[in-house]
Structure 1
Amino acid sequence: MHRMAEEGVGPPIYRSNSAPPPPPTEFSAKEERSDGRLAEALRALGLDDVRIISSSGERMLYSRDQSEIPRFMKEIMFNSAPTVVVQPRSESSVSALLKFASSHRVPVIPRGSGSSPFGGSAPVVGGMVLDISVMDQILAIDVHRLTARVQGGARWADIDHELEKLGLALNTCPSSKFSTVAGWMATGGMGLNSYSKGHLRESVQAASLVTPDGWVRKMDRGDPLFSALFGSEGQLGVITEVTLSVRKRPEMSRPHLIMFSDFRSALSFAYALGSSDVGPAHIVYESPLKFSLVNRMLGGERFTAEHGIIVNIEGKDSEDRYQQFVKSSDLKDEKEYLARYMWNERFFPMKMRKYGPGLLGSEVVMPLKILPDSLQKAEDLCKELGLEPLFEVHFLNDGNGLLLCYYITDQGNTISFTLDAAKSMILTSMLIDNGAKPYSIGIWNTAFTNAEEKAQLTRLRDAKAKLDPGNVMNTGKYFFLSGRFGGVLGTAFSPGIMRPALKTMRVFSPLTMRLMRTGYKFAERKLKPKTRTELLKIADECAMCGACVSVCPAYLIVKDERVTARGKLLTVKALARGDKITKEHSDRTFLCMRCKACEQVCQSKLHLVDAFDKLEKELEELFGKDEKEIEKFIRYAESQPEFDKLVERGLVVGAPTHGMGGERDEV
Structure 2
Amino acid sequence: MNYNKISKEDLKELHKFIPDDERFITHPTEHWDHDQFKTVRAMPDLVIQPVTNEEVQNVVKYASDHHIPLTPRGNSTGLMGANLTIDGGISLDMVKMNKILEYDPDSLTMTVQAGIRLKDIQEFLADKPFVYMPAPAMHWATIGGNVNTNAGGLKAIKYGVTREHIRELKVVLTNGRLYKFGSKAVKSSSGYSIKDLIIGSEGTLGVVTEVMVRLYPKPKESINAIIPFPDLKHAIKSVPVILASGVVPTTVEFMGREVLNLWEKYANQEFPIKEGNGFIILGLDAFTKSEIQAELDQIIEETKKLDASDAIVLDADSDTAELIWKAREELLLAIQKSTPMMDEVDICVPINKIPIVLDRIEELEKEVGMRIPNFGHAGDGNLHIYLCSDSDSKEEFEKKGQKVISELYKTAKELDGNMSGEHGIGYARKDFYEDFYGEDYTELLRKVKELFDPNYVRKLCH
TM range (shorter): 0.7 to 0.9
TM-score when scaled to structure 1?
Answer: 0.60
Match of 1:465 among 428, 435, 450: 450
Task: Find the residue that maps to 2:381 and give its secondary structure.
Answer: strand
Q: How many residues align?
A: 431
The alignment partner of 2:280 has SS state of: strand
SS at match of 1:191: coil
- The alignment status of 1:306 with 2:277, answered yes or no, reads yes
* 2: CA distance, partners of 1:298 / 1:253: 29
Instruction: For residues 585-616 of structure 1, give each alpha carbon's deviation from its aligned partner in whole angstroms, at most 9, with x where no partner exists.
Output: xxxxxxxxxxxxxxxxxxxxxxxxxxxxxxxx
Aligned to 2:343, the other structure's residue is in SS state: strand
**Separation in structure 1 between the aligned mates of residue 236 and residue 39 of structure 2, nearest angstrom:** 35
Query: Match of 2:409, as an amino acid?
Result: S
Shift in Å, 1:300: 5.2
Q: Which residue of 2 aligns with 1:387?
A: 370
- Does residue 368 of the first structure (1) align with residue 351 of the second (2)? yes
Q: CA deviation at 1:357?
A: 3.9
Q: Name the structure 2 match of 1:51.
A: 23
> Which of 112, 120, 123 is residue 158 of structure 1 equivalent to?
120
**Counterpart-to-counterpart distance in 2, 1:119 and 1:324:** 44
Q: Distance in 2 between matches of 1:146 and 1:305?
A: 42
Is the CA contact 2:345–2:386 (under 8 Å) kept in the aligned structure 1? yes
Matches within 5 A, 1:166-565: 166-220=128-182, 222=190, 223-296=192-265, 297-298=267-268, 302=272, 303-304=274-275, 306-315=277-286, 316-329=289-302, 330=304, 331=308, 332-334=310-312, 336=314, 339-348=321-330, 349-396=332-379, 400-410=380-390, 414-415=394-395, 417-419=397-399, 421-435=401-415, 436-439=417-420, 440-450=424-434, 451-452=436-437, 460-471=445-456, 490=462
- Displacement of 1:103 in angstroms is 0.8
Residue number in structure 2 paired with 1:514:
none
Contact 2:271 2:324 in 1 (8 A): no
**1:352 deviation in Å?**
3.0
Deviation at 1:280, TM superposition (A): 0.8
> Over residues 549-589 of structure 1, what are the superposed CA-to-partner deviations in whole Å (9 max), with x where a residue is unaligned?
xxxxxxxxxxxxxxxxxxxxxxxxxxxxxxxxxxxxxxxxx
Does the aligned pair in 1 maintain the 2:166–2:214 contact within 8 Å? Answer: yes
Distance of aligned partners of 1:59 and 1:464 in 2 relative to their CA distance in 1, 3 Å threshold: farther
Give the secondary structure class of the aligned counterpart of 2:349.
strand
Contact 2:368 2:400 in 1 (8 A): no
Please state how far the C-alpha of 1:383 moved relative to its aligned partner: 2.1
Classify 1:311/1:300 alpha carbon distance in 2 versus 1 (closer, same or farther; 3 Å): closer
Cα distance in structure 2, aligned partners of 1:361 and 1:468: 30
Q: Is the 8 A contact 1:277 1:321 kept in 2?
A: no
1:477-531 residue CA offsets vs partner (Å, 9 max, x unmatched): xx7667xxxxxxx4xxxxxxxxxxxxxxxxxxxxxxxxxxxxxxxxxxxxxxxxx
Give the match for residue 37 of structure 2.
67
Flag the 1:325–1:306 CA change in 2: closer, same or farther, 3 A: same
CA contact (8 A) 1:186 1:234 kept: yes
Secondary structure at the counterpart of residue 124 of structure 1: coil
In structure 1, distance between residues paired with 2:439 and 2:99: 36
SS of corresponding position for 2:37: coil
**Amino acid aligned to 2:296:** Q
The answer to whether the Cα contact below 8 Å between 2:249 and 2:283 also exists between their aligned partners in 1 is yes
Q: Residues 190, 301 of structure 1: CA spacing in aligned structure 2 closer, same or farther, 3 A cutoff?
A: closer
Secondary structure, counterpart of 1:366 in structure 2? coil
SS of structure 2 residue aligned to 1:438: coil
Are the equivalent residues in 1 in contact too, given 2:80–2:429 (CA < 8 A)? yes
Q: CA deviation at 1:305?
A: 5.5
Matching residue's letter, 2:432: F
Render the CA deviation track for 1:45-79: whole Å, top value 9, x for unaligned: 46559821111xx3432221112235xxx6xxxxx
Tell me, yes or no, if the aligned pair for 2:75 and 2:141 is still in contact at 8 Å. Answer: yes
- CA-based RMSD: 2.9
User: How much does 1:382 deviate?
Assistant: 1.9
Q: Partners in 2 of 1:46 and 1:195 — Cα distance?
A: 43
TM-score, normalised by the number of residues in structure 2: 0.85
CA distance in 2, matches of 1:172, 1:227: 16
SS in structure 1 at match of 2:364: helix
1-structure distance, mates of 2:49, 2:270: 46
Deviation at 1:257, TM superposition (A): 0.8
In the superposition, relative to structure 1, how do residues 454 and 231 fare at CA in structure 2: closer, same or farther (>3 Å)? farther
- SS at 1:39's partner residue? helix
Given the superposition, is the C-alpha separation of residues 458 and 312 from structure 1 closer, same or farther in structure 2, using an over 3 Å criterion? farther
Change (3 A) 1:410 1:388: closer
Match of 1:131 among 70, 73, 93: 93
8 A contact 2:70–2:92 mirrored in 1: yes
CA distance in 2, matches of 1:282, 1:85: 39
Overall identity of the aligned pairs, in %: 24
2: CA distance between counterparts of 1:187 and 1:388? 27
Q: Compare CA radii of gyration and give the structure with the larger one.
A: 1
Match of 2:80 among 115, 118, 123: 118
Rounded Cα–Cα distance in structure 1 between residues aligned with 2:437 and 2:253: 24
- SS of corresponding position for 1:43: helix
Matches within 5 A, 1:2-81: 36-45=8-17, 47=19, 51-55=23-27, 58-69=28-39, 80-81=42-43
Runs of 5+ unmatched residues, structure 2: 1-5, 183-187
Conserved 8 A contact 1:88-1:134: yes
Q: Secondary structure at the match of 2:157?
A: helix
| 3-state secondary structure, aligned to 2:346 | strand
- Letter matched to residue 12 of structure 2: E
SS of residue paired to 2:410: helix
- What's the offset of the Cα at 1:455? 9.9
CA-CA distance at 1:456 after TM superposition: 8.1
Structure 2 CA distance for aligned equivalents of residues 172 and 300 of structure 1: 28
Structure 1 residue 202, shift from structure 2 partner: 0.8
Give 1:417 shift: 4.7
The residue type paired with residue 314 of structure 1 is: D
3-state secondary structure, aligned to 2:23: strand
Is the contact made by 2:109 and 2:215 (CA closer than 8 Å) also made in structure 1? yes
